[in-house]
Amino acid sequence: MRLRPTIGISLALLVMSGSAMAKSAPATERPHDAKKPLAHKAEPAKAARMASRAEKLARDRKRRLAETRRHGRAVLRTASRRRAQQPHAAAQDRPEDRIIERVRPIGAREIGTATWYGGWRLGRRTASGERLDAIHDTAAHRSLPLMSWARVTNLANGRSVIVRVNDRGPASPRRVIDLSPKAARDLRMIHSGVAPVAVEPVALIREPGK
């Protein structure tokens, strides 16, 4: 009879410990179960952030390109207006840029493709230290001496222009010379952008007394 209370107490303790273990088991599993849906939710959110960032970078790049093009067109228009208002100002400032028809070939003739450059490059320093502009006949060449002269002939229409080499280029190995906007207009290639040309280094013949 004395053993019954002890057995009852033991059974009660076993029942209580079993229920406690049953309650604690799901509690320990909940963090692991809760992490899975959070991880799945984080991946779409990260992908959305990356897509939004890529779209923003693309918009910024497009905006900068449009601003550069507008700036280049504005510089060309300003240079053209100034030249129309003061047609002799450039020749007075830099007399060596006047086109002198009497020239003497001093080197081998080079045949290839010419392009012209301007836009956002207008106003920047060339290899000679001068600034690229739209009112002088200048050019970029890889090997001709800086500040030397060359005759460029458009083989498509026969027009020629005397240019002063003040820069290095072109960057593309398929081109032989890069022309300023003024030289490109003189050769009637400003719209096509590319033309077959002959490049011939020349020396200017100065008349006696000049």
Position 94 scores a pLDDT of: 41
* Amino acid of residue 2: R
From CA 43, how far away is CA 53, in angstroms rounded? 15
Tens of pLDDT, residues 104-117: 899 999 999 999 99
Burial class (CB in 10 A: 0-12, 13-18, 19+), 201: buried
Structure tokens given for 90: 């450039």
For the chain, the average pLDDT equals: 77
Structure tokens given for 183: 């030289």
For the chain, what are the domain ranges?
89-204
Q: Distance of CA 110 to CAs 8, 197, 201, Å?
A: 113, 8, 9
Structure tokens given for 17: 């410990």
The answer to whether 102 touches 199, Cβ cutoff 8 Å, is: no
Per-residue pLDDT at 34 exceeds 70: no
| Residue 83 CB neighbour total at 10 angstroms | 16
Residues 6+ apart with CB under 8 A from 68: 119, 120
Position 204 scores a pLDDT of: 87
CATH, range 89-204: 2.40.40.10
The pLDDT of 193-208, averaged and rounded, is: 88
From CA 204, how far away is CA 149, in angstroms rounded? 8
Position 97 scores a pLDDT of: 42
According to DSSP H, which parts of 86-99 are helical? 89-93
The pLDDT of 23-27, averaged and rounded, is: 51
Most confident among 34-38, 68-72, 179-183 (mean pLDDT):
179-183
DSSP state of 146: T
From CA 74, how far away is CA 82, in angstroms rounded? 12
Lowest model confidence (mean pLDDT) among 14-23, 32-41, 91-100, 197-206: 91-100
The pLDDT of 130-155, averaged and rounded, is: 95
Report the candidate in 167, 179, 13, 66 with the shortest Cα–Cα distance to residue 5.
13
Tens of pLDDT, residues 58-102: 888 777 777 766 666 665 666 566 655 554 444 344 434 444 458
Give the position of tokens 């300003």: 78
Strands 110-116, 194-204: parallel, antiparallel or unpaired by DSSP?
Answer: antiparallel
In percent, the amount of the chain with pLDDT more than 70 equals: 61
Structure tokens given for 19: 């229920």
Q: Distance of CA 24 to CAs 12, 18, 21, 35, Å?
A: 18, 10, 5, 18
The pLDDT of 11-40, averaged and rounded, is: 56
